[in-house]
Structure 1
Amino acid sequence: MARPSGRAARIEALRKLCASGAILHIAEAAQKLNTSEITIRRDLGDGENGILCLGGYIMSASEKGERYSLSHAQGTNTQAKTLVARQAVAMVAPEDTIFIDCGSTLQHLAANVPQNANITVVTQALNIAEIVSRLDGVKLVLLAGLYHPESGSFSSDTALKMLQEINITKGFFSAAGIHENEGVTCFHFHEVAVKRAAMARSQKRFLVSDASKWGKLRPATFAQLDEFELWIGKPDSD
């Protein structure tokens, strides 16, 4: 039986390094494989090996092709999402005006807001608004506009203008990917403007995400980690 070529062995090693959605910088990959960055780029040049090099990072091709679906996300990692959401809601105090971002994680925060909490909730997310609308003693501000069913959220210039008039005491933000070098990311570019505007209007900003999002890189960057006062759900370091 013929022995695998050096290229085949390197690609297989990269597949193992990128297992479970891991993303690593090409320099780190070159060091682990004891080869050069140029060699790795050449190995992955045809894009047909299940591994991609994008923006200097190595990732599984299926990771790049993944698409977000709110309905699907609502049924995944529910226990972990509930845990981080309960940690987040503990920071909410009477008379707060809070921003609750879109996505499946923060709907658990909304579900844990008590009746008669005496707060105002601002959101661009339909799933969040539906939960909050049923709470007595909680005011709801829905940032409406064009509805995006894949994320269950709205976007519009009107929403951005509305945010300019709202003083948010605490903003709770979700993410689809969190990368220590590339920042906090989401799947959809239409989400970025509202997220950025809400961050700018928030006195305190909290990143709320279960551990599965860490180390992932998604298409649209909307923040850097140092823009948040607290990272709720950050996995423990090894």
Structure 2
Amino acid sequence: MSLIGEERKDLILNMLNLEGKVRTVDLVDKLKVSSETIRRYLEELEAENKLKRVYGGAVKINLAREEPAHFKREITRAEEKRRIGRAAASLVEDNDVIFVDDGTTTQQMIHYLLGKKNITVLTVSVPVLYLLIDYQNKDLFSGEIYFIGGKVNSKHSRVSGAIAEKMIETFYADKAFISIDGIMMGKGITGFDAERGQLARKLIEHSKQSIVLSDHSKFGEVQFYKIADLKEIDLIISDFPVPKEWEQYLAEKGVNWIHAE
């Protein structure tokens, strides 16, 4: 395979990662090669276990059908999550009331809230709660802490369910920081778990501003439960700049993007 061929395959994978699927006819038009050449590229990429061919094109392989345990997520893409968490915390202003969703990316925010004054944090995440308590006991965090009660999920160290949803409905926040498992144009933001996804939706509904935290591995992924349409989100923070293919779509939906460098 020539270098240009490898570059074409990389472009196919980039498109696939953003859109979740590619069509042969679109690739022929974009790459200016024959449909036979495209089929050969797709066959080679499938042999490398990088995509799955379907009639008329290919789709992204979704190996993660089940949400990993919290301790496994915590060590995955740790540096990217740290940068995203720091960027998210920079949006929090003195006297804000914020929802902090469950997730190892939102958890990183807490380390960067210590200089804020009079912050009220509401969370469903047990690790976030422990961090806040620890910092407060060390006189490093002086805000208020509210833990949303409900059914405990030990594997993922969070609460969810009807009781938690009912409790969230009694509060309103300035900003909600939301974790996701997938994001795609036309499909919105999605999650593995329906109960957690419904809870995240409640956070969005009860906040003035909704902010999604996502590393690039979630791009082009669609998981089991739809949390919200992109038009319901105000801002996305990611370790990658906004994909060019998404710029116009997000602008039409009124969604801003922050690249956490």
Bin of the TM-score, shorter chain as denominator length: 0.7 to 0.9
Cα offset, 1:119, TM superposition:
0.9
Corresponding residue to 1:138 among 139, 143, 153: 143
Q: Which residue of 2 aligns with 1:182?
A: 187
Partner of 2:206: 201
Q: Distance in 2 between matches of 1:93 and 1:24?
A: 35
| Equivalent runs, 1:98-117 vs 2, <5 Å | 98-114=98-114, 117=117
Q: Which amino acid aligns with 1:108?
A: Q
Structure 1 residues 24 and 154: alpha-carbon distance in aligned structure 2, compared to 1, 3 A threshold? same
Instruction: Look up the match of 1:129.
Output: 129
State the alpha-carbon separation in 2 of the partners of residues 157 and 52 from structure 1.
41
- Are the aligned partners of 1:121 and 1:140 in contact in 2 as well (CA < 8 Å)? yes
Match for residue 165 of structure 1? Answer: 170
Quickly say closer, same or farther: Cα 1:95–1:122, change in 2 above 3 A: same
1:156 CA drift (Å): 2.8
Q: Residue in 2 aligned with 1:32?
A: 27
Q: Is the partner of 1:22 in helix, strand or coil? A: helix
Q: Determine what percentage of the aligned residue pairs are the same residue.
A: 22
Structure 1, residues 189-232: CA drift from partner, whole Å, max 9, x if none? 11022111111110111111222222222221101222122111
Q: List per-residue Cα deviations over 1:126-185 (Å, max 9, x = no partner).
A: 111111122231211111211113332101322222212212011111111111221111
Residue number in structure 2 paired with 1:237: 243
Amino acid at match of 1:78: A
By how many angstroms is 1:106 displaced? Answer: 0.7
Q: Does 1:151 align with 2:156?
A: yes
Distance in structure 2 (CA, Å) of the matches to 1:159 and 1:27: 40
What is the TM-score of this pair, normalised by structure 1?
A: 0.76
Give the number of equivalent residue pairs. Answer: 212
Q: What's the secondary structure of 2:63's corresponding residue?
A: helix
Please list every run of 5 or more consecutive structure 2 residues that lacks an aligned counterpart in the other structure. Answer: 1-8, 29-33, 36-48, 245-261
Q: Aligned Cα RMSD in Å? A: 3.2
> In 2, distance between residues paired with 1:201 and 1:73?
27
User: Shift in Å at residue 24 of structure 1?
Assistant: 4.5
What amino acid is aligned across from residue 219 of structure 1 in structure 2? F
Distance in 2 (alpha carbons) for counterparts of 1:211 and 1:24: 13
Q: Distance in 2 between matches of 1:57 and 1:97?
A: 44
The correspondence of residues 10-25 of structure 1 with structure 2, limited to 5 A, is 22=17, 24=19
TM-score scaled to structure 2, two decimals? 0.70
Answer 1 or 2: which has greater helix percent.
2
Q: Secondary structure at the match of 1:196?
A: helix
